[in-house]
Structure 1
Amino acid sequence: MSRDMNYGEAAEPKARSFRFWLIRTIWCFGGITLVGTILGGVLFFCVTRTSGLRAQNRQDGQEVEIYSKEQIDKFITSVLIIVQNQPMGQESAQADMVFIASFNAFEQRLTMVALADETLVQTEEYGDKSLGEAYALGGPGLLVNIINQSFGLDLQNYACTDTHSLAVMIDLLGGIQTELTQNEADYINNALGNSGEGLHAGTVTLTGAQSVVHAMDNLSGQEPLGSPRRSLKLIQSLVFNLRKTATKEAMLPLLSLLFSNIETNLDFTMLHDLGYEVLKAEEMEYQSLLIPCDGSWKAAGTNGEKLQADIAQNGELLLETLYNAQ
Structure 2
Amino acid sequence: MSGGLEAPSFWWRPPGPAAIALAPLGWLYGAITAGRMARSPAYTAAVPVICVGNFTVGGTGKTPFALALARLLRARGERPVFLTRGYGGRLSGGPPVLLDPDRHGPVEAGDESLLLAAGGPVVITADRAGGARLAETLGSVILMDDGLQNPALAKTVSLALVDAASGTGNGFCLPAGPLRAPVERQLAHVDALVVIGDGVAAGPVEAAARSRGLPAFRARLAARQAPWLKGSRVLAFAGIGRPERFAQSLRTAGAEVAQTRFFGDHHAFTEREAQELLEGAARDGLALVTTAKDRVRLGMSEGDTALARLAQQAKVLDVEMQAEDPQGLAAFLEARLSQGVSPHS
TM-score strictly above 0.5: no
Structure with the bigger percentage of strand: 1
What TM-score do the two structures reach when normalised by structure 1? Answer: 0.26
Larger-gyration structure (1/2)? 2
